[in-house]
Structure 1
């Protein structure tokens, strides 16, 4: 006689998969913390494993290599969703959208640290995150340019400010101020510096 799938006696085959998924999540979170403070080069699998009380071999079982673990961290939803989404905003809302993103990132300081540390480190030879950060830079620059071009079409940029300059300067300032925040987190406020910049290059009240 077959046992119905929803009876207490039915075999439950999803348990190990749920446990495996939970373990991967723990490893990703620990790797996020290690890479965002020590970087990829200095942060070891032993450091990651030690944060959650496992052996480095367990990490290799789930991810295969340290390079694959880094790629998984960078592709993780909480990291990928941290970029600007300006297409759905009205032109006058673009500065507000950028500030909301900065404020959200301020609440997750590890995310700022991850990008600041790894983006700089990715410029070194044979870094496994190099392609990711090149693509991220191009994607972010395009998003900024699109948002500011729409603002320019509505005469919302300050006199003499082009959409290209607004995009490049905002991207450069944002990345740069994050490095200064890493150096002196008690004195530097990323969102407030960005707010002052947007007040200078646009005519929108922020």
Structure 2
């Protein structure tokens, strides 16, 4: 025999792993705040480190590079943002506009996240931006979901005369992105949900 087996209930040495996970969470949260306020290019590792009282080299130890940190932060926010999010693809045709409004209302409660996406998506159109692929894929997924929802409405005769699914998807996506910018600038005067509701009443025949 080489020794007695470890009892099933023996405590495991998880301290270092917990500390590593906690530190990564602190860095990701700090990166979110800095990138939402300043964008990727202007937001520095020094700014991120200063928010949680660490050296920038600690960030590189955990993530390897500023570009890798950005991607990790975006993946983290996407995963956490999915909690409680309406599943647009599961809605029937008549419920689709209501699902869009529910999503808009939900976004009203997370202005920091909307600011992050607004700042970084615009910045991602610049040359060699590390978030370019992420935001292109995100835009494609959003357009596809909108197109699918409005096509189901078209198939049921629920779009206004002269409106097709592609036009409805494009105009809704464009208005939503644009009105969110105005809301971030002047939240007291602009309502994304109200603007979206008025738009949907123009392009569909559903009561909302």
* Structure-1-length-normalised TM-score: 0.91
CA offsets per residue over residues 3-40 of structure 1, 9 Å max, x none?
Answer: 52424xx4x32221122112111111111111111110
Counterpart among 197, 202, 205 of residue 204 in structure 2: 202
- Equivalent residue for 2:71? 71
More moved, 81-90 vs 34-43 = 81-90
CA offsets per residue over residues 98-157 of structure 1, 9 Å max, x none?
Answer: 111111111111111011100110111111001111111111111100000001111111
Aligned length: 203
Structure 2 distance, partners of 1:133, 1:168, is 16
- Equivalent residue for 1:91? 93
Structure 2 distance, partners of 1:83, 1:128, is 26
- Equivalent residue for 2:57? 57
Task: Name structure 2 gaps, 5 residues minimum.
Answer: none
- Equivalent residue for 2:170? 168
Is 1:134–2:136 an aligned residue pair?
A: yes
Considering only aligned residues, what root-mean-square deviation do their CA atoms show, in Å? 1.8
Checking the alignment, whether the CA contact within 8 Å between 1:84 and 1:143 is kept in structure 2 is no
Q: Give the superposition deviation at 1:183.
A: 2.5
* Structure-2-length-normalised TM-score: 0.91
- Equivalent residue for 1:37? 37
State the 4+ residue runs in structure 1 displaced beyond 4 angstroms: 79-84
Counterpart among 149, 152, 155 of residue 153 in structure 1: 155
Structure 2 distance, partners of 1:142, 1:165, is 12
- Equivalent residue for 2:7? 4
